[in-house]
Structure 1
Amino acid sequence: MQSLLRTPLDLPGQAAVAAAAAAAPSVFNTQPWSFSVSPAGLDVYADPGRASLPTASAERDVHLSCGAAVLNARAALARLGHGTRVSVLPDAGDPLLVARITVTDEAPDQVLGRLYGWVHLRRTNRYPFAPEPLASEVVALLRDAASREGASLRLLDREPEYQRVLSLIRAATGKEEEAVREDRAARLSPGSAPSVIPVGSLGPVPRRGGYDDPAVRDMAEGIGLPGRTCADFEPRPDLAVLETPGDDPASWVAAGQSLQRLLLTAAEHAVAASFANQPLEDADLRDAVSASAAHYGHPQMVLRIGYPLTQPPASPRRPLSEALRRDGD
């Protein structure tokens, strides 16, 4: 990587930046990335072999996950006092190279530097939330966070759009292919090495009531896991759709960066989120999510947002040494 700085990144800094990138959220905690770190910065590579069984959203999900890792790395570099320059998909001959983050002597992003404090504390929260809606000033902060990275956050705060998207979430849950369920069961079952999401991070089993089923996604639906309890979830969670103007790999990386900036902003303001992306994993249902919002863009994530009642444990991360690329990789 060509350096644009006079003060290179030292070894402790390199370790901190790589660890921050590896702490990013990823679809089903598959961590589909690898990193090459040097005094000049960090390269983020896609590792699609780690992704879950292919769905219509598989390629997009990998790029979104890598985009979240890019944002975390930028936050770590800002905390260390470095400016950054990011090139997305910089090498047409290497489609797995998602982004190159080069350290510069420009002024660091002070907001990202502050948000770094939440990189290792943020959790995907699959537990019930408090019934109160988000405060309008918090919604404004989350929208601003998304827009700073080129996406828009559309809160589903009106009818009939809220119920329409909620019905798509429920419909997608019923349409999930058996092979996808089996793949997830194999990754979650006791004895898997290691379980990608521990029981404590899965949250309780939502009590279902037919038409009134909650919007929360049970990642272990139909899998009998010891230690899980049942719970009632908030009857009307805040739902939002993260959208981008384009719908290509560069747009997916932007969506991942937008997602992570808004998730860190949410954590800073004691707000939690989980994901209800079922309809985005089906091509037809994804079109239906965006049908009434063509002027906003393409849906990349569906989020359930609220004030948490429980702080779940962190999902495990593979050893950082396994995520670092060696010479010749």
Structure 2
Amino acid sequence: MRHTGHVTLNASEQLVVAAAAAAAPSVFNTQPWSFTFTEDGMEVHADPHDAWMPTASAARDVRLSCGAAVFNARASLARRGHGSRVSVLPDAGDPLLVARIAVTDAAPDPVLDELYRWVDSRRTNRYPFRPEGVPADVLALLHDAARREGATLRLLEAEPEYQRMLTSIRHATWTEDEDVREDRDARLSPRAEEPAIPVGNLGPVPRGGRPDDPPVRDMAVGLDLPGRGSAAFEPHPDLAVLETSDDDAGSWIAAGQALQRLLLEATGHGIAASFANQPLEDAELRPDVSGGAAHYGYPQMVLRLGYATEQPPASPRRPLSQVIRRTAA
């Protein structure tokens, strides 16, 4: 028997679902979202003001972040025993309304229920990884996780494609616009009231130099931040590109859901991830990320995957009172 009735979350459930959604990864840890609870579900809104950076990817990054929050909300609802139905960009007159999530009395998705286990332990890991690669069977699971949300995860393993990606990452890092660097430095400076990313989450300064910089993103390159230290990183990590067939706001939200699904799957198998999105933030360099495999679609994220040598702390989150707009009575 098919159930389609709506369910109203009680106050306790609303807080738990909002906390799970807010635990999603976001561009520069800006958490560019807010949540409204209604009688039949939840709305996820983009709140891009603090997240608006002087990069070509700013609008895309906000929607990707919100898509990851949508996925976490779905997983949390499944753990609470609820089904859910998502409507992406449901109001053409309100482009900041990313999604409506209807809570239903349908049976919860058991896979989402299982993935919820890893919401609180998922981290963006900017520490060195061990030299061994991710097993093929785990990579297949990550590929399937992305596919379930309408995206493709493409592992870069053949040459010269792998080296071309490294070149793109390094070139984007070295040629970063001054206003982008200044914006990032202001967000991370010890003089900031609350640095966007604490030192413990930035990881150590990569040792090495041109042209052998490792493909790990140093978010605080050029900043002297006490307590970071330095470390040698793995020279040949697994790199993968998350791609979608289209490149509009709906596709960016789908990419965010795909990203979070695969990240939770990876966490459950002991795999850590960080991002090397520098070339995606430059409109001229972004096409190089797909290179000869452009038929896969549009690149949305570049991931570095591997087994971590150290687990960073949880990144700070805004109080729920700042991200919940309204609760259902």
TM-score, scaled relative to structure 2: 0.96
- The residue number in structure 1 matching 2:229 is 229
> Does structure 2 retain, via aligned residues, the 8 Å contact 1:21–1:69?
yes
| Alpha-carbon distance in structure 1 between the residues aligned to 2:195 and 2:212 | 31
| Cα distance change on mapping 1:6 and 1:237 into 2, 3 Å | closer
SS in 2 for 1:295: helix
Letter in 1 for 2:157: D
Identity of aligned residues (%): 69
| Alpha-carbon distance in structure 1 between the residues aligned to 2:175 and 2:33 | 28
| Alpha-carbon distance in structure 1 between the residues aligned to 2:202 and 2:296 | 32
- The residue number in structure 2 matching 1:322 is 322
> Does structure 2 retain, via aligned residues, the 8 Å contact 1:196–1:315?
no
- The residue number in structure 2 matching 1:146 is 146
Choose 275-284 or 206-215, whichever is displaced more. 206-215
Letter in 1 for 2:18: A
- The residue number in structure 1 matching 2:118 is 118
- The residue number in structure 2 matching 1:247 is 247
- List gaps (5 residues or longer) in structure 1: none
| Alpha-carbon distance in structure 1 between the residues aligned to 2:39 and 2:317 | 24
After superposition, the C-alpha distances for 1:290-311 in whole angstroms (9 at most, x for unaligned) are 2311221100000000001100
| Alpha-carbon distance in structure 1 between the residues aligned to 2:326 and 2:104 | 24
- The residue number in structure 1 matching 2:127 is 127
1:52, distance to aligned residue in structure 2 (A): 4.0
- The residue number in structure 2 matching 1:304 is 304
| Alpha-carbon distance in structure 1 between the residues aligned to 2:75 and 2:99 | 15
1:137, distance to aligned residue in structure 2 (A): 0.6
1:117, distance to aligned residue in structure 2 (A): 1.1
- The residue number in structure 2 matching 1:213 is 213
Say how many residue pairs are matched.
324
| Alpha-carbon distance in structure 1 between the residues aligned to 2:292 and 2:77 | 39
> Does structure 1 retain, via aligned residues, the 8 Å contact 2:89–2:95?
yes
| Alpha-carbon distance in structure 1 between the residues aligned to 2:52 and 2:217 | 16
| Cα distance change on mapping 1:6 and 1:60 into 2, 3 Å | closer
| Alpha-carbon distance in structure 2 between the residues aligned to 1:153 and 1:7 | 34
SS in 1 for 2:294: coil
| Alpha-carbon distance in structure 2 between the residues aligned to 1:242 and 1:263 | 12
Query: Is 1:275 matched up with 2:259?
Result: no
> Does structure 2 retain, via aligned residues, the 8 Å contact 1:89–1:97?
yes
| Alpha-carbon distance in structure 1 between the residues aligned to 2:105 and 2:190 | 49
| Alpha-carbon distance in structure 1 between the residues aligned to 2:114 and 2:187 | 35
Letter in 1 for 2:189: S
After superposition, the C-alpha distances for 1:31-70 in whole angstroms (9 at most, x for unaligned) are 1111112342210011110214221100000000000000
| Alpha-carbon distance in structure 2 between the residues aligned to 1:193 and 1:81 | 40
TM-score, scaled relative to structure 1: 0.96
| Alpha-carbon distance in structure 2 between the residues aligned to 1:260 and 1:7 | 25
1:200, distance to aligned residue in structure 2 (A): 0.4
- List gaps (5 residues or longer) in structure 2: none
Q: Which runs of 4+ in 1 moved over 4 A?
A: none
| Alpha-carbon distance in structure 1 between the residues aligned to 2:191 and 2:5 | 47
